[in-house]
């Protein structure tokens, strides 16, 4: 087995036994990137020279007996909306094509403390606005399971890199499903933590009340390890929760006996494909066999989540992206004769069609005369959805839904229909509206051999419950051993 095929915890075990070196691991990954990324196109920026030098330094420290972090010398790749000092951070946009970050995001500071190594920055939908990684200003990312199909989005590069064994694990961000949906479509594990559990400082904002950084990994164990590293209070993020530090690996217990799982009927109805439904019923059956109680329930107000989400997210995007005007930040057009021209032309040329669509919608719903009718009403719906979740979690430990109503679609298939594209996130958006934790777990493949994932949702800060249920399922099904990307197409 090649080094790039191993999970992070397997790599750490070999490092601790001195069976391999960090330099060998990093070299293996860059060889894999050279082999596969021409077809997949997950990376915007690679940092090979820097990474190889860091690996040699870590190996020298380890050989000298210096105390190092548990994950010292382990490589990671980062979605290109998180700042790393001295490295380009483009957000997949022409607007920030040449922006070099002058500081580290808090999550990067935490990884630096471990002496981890950055393979590069990963492609994404522009400013995280999209469900397919097709709105990137630079290029489309392709799904390793079928190169003619999308990897999901907006963290499509992050999911595709892990799926294609071009990174052992990655960080993505999730505003309405942008970690879970691509993880589900690429056959890997993706976790959106509870809002506030992971600092957003240094994450270039899309919608500040919804954005959350989280891990994309090969298995559930690695997800717990990476969440351990990045979770925690941060004074630089005013929305950061001051929760006691937890060790999520203690939740990796192969046992769900006595656990109550609710399955909202609305997510297995019209609009969900027959193959996805069939796989969900297999997951339900497996949990029942393992000793969990699984019951049908209702989340009727969830049908309003997408409409509320696009009101709130676009309003916040309109505000957050106002700084990119060609003067304070971002791309500046060369065509201007006055200040108004600079603003207009810089934003017209610097932003892509989807970002402009969402800015315009957001500005509209915040404008005088429409604020109460749209934005304020959306916030009231948000409260209703949060309350509905709260009532369900009085009865159930977890909720189980599909990650996506269909399996992965073809490149270009939904680009002409924004509304159809928005519906790709219908299963994931309510979790962000509620500020809840949710995990995408791979469970099977469809008739074309394309991955299907299911989603586990818990009450706020109950990630341990998700890890326990996800780990138990994983240990009793072994998806990775049975299924691997084909790179066909």
The candidate with the shortest Cα–Cα distance to 298, out of 326, 335, 269, 278, is: 269
User: What is the rounded distance in angstroms from the CA atom of residue 355 to the CA atom of residue 177?
Assistant: 17
Which member of 132, 178, 346, 440 is catalytic? 178
User: Which residues sit opposite 43 in a β-bridge?
Assistant: 122
User: What is the rounded distance in angstroms from the CA atom of residue 432 to the CA atom of residue 10?
Assistant: 32
User: What is the rounded distance in angstroms from the CA atom of residue 64 to the CA atom of residue 415?
Assistant: 54
* Active site (annotated) includes residue 79: yes
* Active site (annotated) includes residue 93: no
User: What is the rounded distance in angstroms from the CA atom of residue 12 to the CA atom of residue 62?
Assistant: 13
Peptide bond into 154 cis (omega under 30): yes
The candidate with the shortest Cα–Cα distance to 200, out of 81, 330, 115, 365, is: 81
Instruction: Give every CB contact of residue 127 below 8 A, 6+ residues apart in sequence.
Output: 81, 91, 92, 93, 95, 204, 206, 317, 321, 351, 355
Q: Are 484 and 36 in contact (CB under 8 A)?
A: no
Which member of 41, 79, 110, 414 is catalytic? 79
* Active site (annotated) includes residue 178: yes
Altogether, the residues listed in the chain come to a count of 489
Which member of 28, 154, 199, 404 is catalytic? 154
**What amino acid positions are annotated as catalytic residues?**
79, 154, 178
């Amino acid at each position: 087995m090649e080094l790039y095929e191993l999970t992070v915890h397997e790599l750490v075990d070999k490092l601790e036994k001195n069976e391999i070196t960090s330099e060998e691991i990093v070299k293996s990954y860059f060889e894999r990137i050279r082999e596969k990324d021409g077809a997949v196109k997950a990376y915007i920026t690679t940092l090979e020279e820097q990474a190889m030098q860091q690996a040699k330094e870590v190996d020298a420290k380890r050989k000298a007996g210096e105390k190092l972090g548990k994950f010292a010398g382990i490589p990671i790749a980062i979605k290109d909306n998180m700042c790393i000092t001295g490295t380009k951070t483009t957000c997949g946009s022409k607007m920030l094509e040449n922006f070099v970050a002058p500081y580290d995001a808090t999550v990067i500071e935490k990884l630096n403390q471990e002496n981890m190594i950055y393979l590069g920055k990963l492609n994404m939908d522009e400013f995280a606005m999209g469900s397919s990684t097709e709105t990137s200003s630079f290029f489309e990312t392709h799904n390793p399971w079928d190169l003619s199909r999308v990897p999901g989005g907006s963290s499509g590069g992050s999911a595709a890199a892990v799926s294609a064994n071009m990174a052992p694990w990655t960080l993505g961000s999730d505003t309405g499903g942008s970690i879970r949906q691509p993880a589900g479509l690429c056959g890997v594990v993706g976790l959106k933590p509870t809002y506030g559990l992971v600092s957003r400082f240094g994450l270039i904002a899309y919608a500040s009340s919804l954005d959350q950084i989280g891990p994309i990994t090969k298995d559930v164990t690695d997800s717990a390890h990476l969440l351990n590293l990045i979770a925690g209070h941060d004074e630089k993020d005013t929305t950061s929760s001051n929760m006691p530090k937890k060790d999520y690996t203690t939740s990796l217990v192969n046992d769900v006996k006595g656990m109550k799982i609710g399955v909202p009927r609305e997510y297995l109805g019209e609009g969900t494909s027959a193959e996805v439904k069939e796989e969900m019923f297999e997951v339900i059956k497996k949990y029942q066999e393992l000793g969990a109680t699984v019951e049908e329930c209702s989340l009727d107000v969830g049908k309003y989540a997408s409409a509320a989400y696009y009101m709130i997210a676009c309003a916040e995007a309109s505000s957050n992206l106002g700084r990119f005007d060609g003067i304070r930040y971002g791309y500046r057009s060369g065509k201007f004769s006055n200040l108004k021209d600079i603003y207009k032309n810089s934003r017209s040329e610097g932003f892509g069609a989807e970002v402009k669509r969402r800015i315009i919608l957001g500005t509209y719903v915040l404008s005088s005369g429409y604020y109460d009718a749209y934005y304020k009403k959306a916030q009231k719906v948000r409260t209703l959805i949060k309350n509905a979740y709260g009532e369900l979690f009085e009865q159930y430990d977890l909720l189980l839904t599909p990650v996506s109503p269909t399996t992965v679609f073809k490149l270009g298939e939904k680009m002409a229909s924004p509304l159809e594209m928005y519906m790709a996130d219908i299963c994931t958006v309510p979790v962000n509206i509620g500020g809840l934790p949710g995990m995408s777990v791979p469970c099977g493949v469809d008739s074309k051999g394309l991955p299907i994932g299911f989603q586990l949702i818990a009450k706020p800060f109950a990630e341990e419950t998700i890890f326990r249920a996800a780990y138990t399922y994983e240990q009793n099904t072994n998806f990775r051993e049975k299924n691997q990307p084909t790179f066909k197409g």
